[in-house]
Structure 1
């Protein structure tokens, strides 16, 4: 189960990393709220047939959780997702992509820090993996002198909100149906995005038609598939380990730019990728049980 969950989270990171290409092209014709809103609604619609099929397959199984828990989880996840993605997208307009990637990746540190206040235990291997991941992300993302500006503050707020999103999923995922909760969160995030889109952006049918490819990729795969894999993969998974695996999105985005767009991968970025993968491997090594716990198990 641990390996299966880790693979799901890695696949999530892969889809998100490659989706940066689609998001970059789609933003040529749509504003940040318009793009996020439409792709979220597409993601929610894409999950409806999946829910129907899974319902037929598991017709005789007991329904996990109640409707109230499902609704609460979907709404809370949707609110957190809308707020986090909005802050990140706004911040990117005022800062560089490298700084935004590094600041957003602070959720790797913030998840275990927040987890301490929620009573979650984190071993020394996880903290060492966190340190390696941060070092890797620094080499991967920071290519210019670091300074704090308005955009950096927005992106940092987004990182805080992404941390909340991960912890909210960690709370609700074991208690309810993950696919249904994912569907609800996308409709919530998509509907909420429509209000600032109507107030601050000009969205045209022509712009949507020109962005249909990126919207479908970002909606069906990045939203409908990846976020659902995240919810399912995080079940009974240490949220710190989950955030480390998901942070591979940064490495994969660099590799996708090199493979698809012909962008060059520098030695510095290569070192960052190696450190990130080392952190993931370290985080997946199980802790040795103490003698007392082994004796008790016997």
Structure 2
């Protein structure tokens, strides 16, 4: 897979997640965030199990102990990100949530330098800043006074960044994208169920049946399909570049909010969308121009 193909895969994941914001927000009208998180990832486990078994039969060797521990760590970070975002969206505005979640676009390159000791291509920094600005404008260009939900969403952005970094490390080393996805989903589902039982979050059959469409979309597409696309795509690109393309979820969330919920976007929001798109083009085009000038051959695959 070429880097361009990988980035398009990540763009598709962002589109699926963008539509998932609609499902997440409507589901909170009938079910608690812990059980919603748990059940959506249990559905994802069911969806991914056949693919993980197929991958296991074709693999020459089992994942190492280090890889398995890494898969679990990715699941823990996914659980913390999903839960804090899900709880946060209950007590903040959709605009604030989309903007603050997008902070991971800026956090990822910083963590890449601090913990992986890798120096991103220089274009990542202005592109990350532009993506952050675009998300801000897409949210309306203003933030109300920070609430508890806003602070939780900022925390979710940090956990999202950690998950992106960990996937970059272990997707390369393991070469087992379906196993990674399956274990991270199972870890997330088990943790959410355990915490829901401990805190006594209510659950009823009526609440589950009332949110079946949200569960199916979130479990099959937002979780099973999109997160697996993320794992596959990140095998062939860098964490900072992945963060830029995944940030398109804010753009798609705004689009699907207008299409499905009748929401409106201010003119400044359309400018934000164009800025996000421009940042993605910069990440894709500028490194290619640099390689062409130096005569360096493009990398078709990593790991």
**TM-score under structure 2 length normalisation:** 0.89
Alpha-carbon deviation of 1:209?
Answer: 1.2
Residue 165 of structure 2 corresponds to residue 167 of structure 1:
yes
Q: Secondary structure at the match of 2:13?
A: helix
In structure 2, C-alpha distance between the alignment counterparts of 1:146 and 1:20, rounded to whole Å: 20
Matches within 5 A, 1:3-42: 3-42=4-43
Matches within 5 A, 1:91-130: 91-117=88-114, 118-130=116-128
Alpha-carbon deviation of 1:285?
Answer: 1.5
In structure 2, C-alpha distance between the alignment counterparts of 1:70 and 1:223, rounded to whole Å: 21
C-alpha contact (below 8 Å) 2:42/2:189 kept by paired residues: yes
Q: What residue is the counterpart of 1:73 in the other structure?
A: 70
In structure 1, C-alpha distance between the alignment counterparts of 2:294 and 2:39, rounded to whole Å: 54
Query: Deviation string for 1:165-193 (max 9, x for gaps)?
Result: 11010110011101111001101100100
Q: What residue is the counterpart of 2:274 in the other structure?
A: 274
| Further displaced range: 211-220 or 20-29 | 20-29
Unpaired segments ≥5 residues, structure 2? 297-303
Q: Secondary structure at the match of 2:92?
A: coil
In structure 2, C-alpha distance between the alignment counterparts of 1:45 and 1:71, rounded to whole Å: 19
C-alpha contact (below 8 Å) 1:69/1:175 kept by paired residues: no
In structure 1, C-alpha distance between the alignment counterparts of 2:139 and 2:214, rounded to whole Å: 24
In structure 1, C-alpha distance between the alignment counterparts of 2:293 and 2:24, rounded to whole Å: 51
Alpha-carbon deviation of 1:228?
Answer: 0.5
In structure 2, C-alpha distance between the alignment counterparts of 1:45 and 1:277, rounded to whole Å: 34
C-alpha contact (below 8 Å) 1:70/1:180 kept by paired residues: no
C-alpha contact (below 8 Å) 1:84/1:162 kept by paired residues: yes
Matches within 5 A, 1:231-246: 231-246=231-246
Q: What residue is the counterpart of 2:299 in the other structure?
A: none
Q: What residue is the counterpart of 2:205 in the other structure?
A: 205
Q: What residue is the counterpart of 2:300 in the other structure?
A: none
C-alpha contact (below 8 Å) 2:28/2:90 kept by paired residues: no
| Further displaced range: 254-263 or 188-197 | 254-263
Unpaired segments ≥5 residues, structure 1? none
Q: What do you get for the CA RMSD once the two structures are aligned?
A: 2.1
C-alpha contact (below 8 Å) 2:258/2:265 kept by paired residues: yes
Alpha-carbon deviation of 1:244?
Answer: 0.6
Q: What residue is the counterpart of 1:195 in the other structure?
A: 194
In structure 1, C-alpha distance between the alignment counterparts of 2:291 and 2:48, rounded to whole Å: 40
| Further displaced range: 23-32 or 273-282 | 23-32
Query: Deviation string for 1:5-49 (max 9, x for gaps)?
Result: 111101100111111222222222210111011001110111012
In structure 1, C-alpha distance between the alignment counterparts of 2:152 and 2:275, rounded to whole Å: 27
| Further displaced range: 109-118 or 83-92 | 83-92
Matches within 5 A, 1:147-166: 147-166=145-164
| Further displaced range: 128-137 or 256-265 | 256-265
| Further displaced range: 143-152 or 213-222 | 143-152
Alpha-carbon deviation of 1:122?
Answer: 1.9
Q: Secondary structure at the match of 1:285?
A: helix
C-alpha contact (below 8 Å) 1:103/1:159 kept by paired residues: yes
C-alpha contact (below 8 Å) 1:257/1:263 kept by paired residues: yes
In structure 1, C-alpha distance between the alignment counterparts of 2:35 and 2:135, rounded to whole Å: 29
Distance 1:232 1:290, change over 3 A: closer
C-alpha contact (below 8 Å) 2:79/2:192 kept by paired residues: yes
Q: Secondary structure at the match of 1:263?
A: coil
**TM-score under structure 1 length normalisation:** 0.91
Count of aligned pairs: 291
C-alpha contact (below 8 Å) 1:16/1:226 kept by paired residues: yes
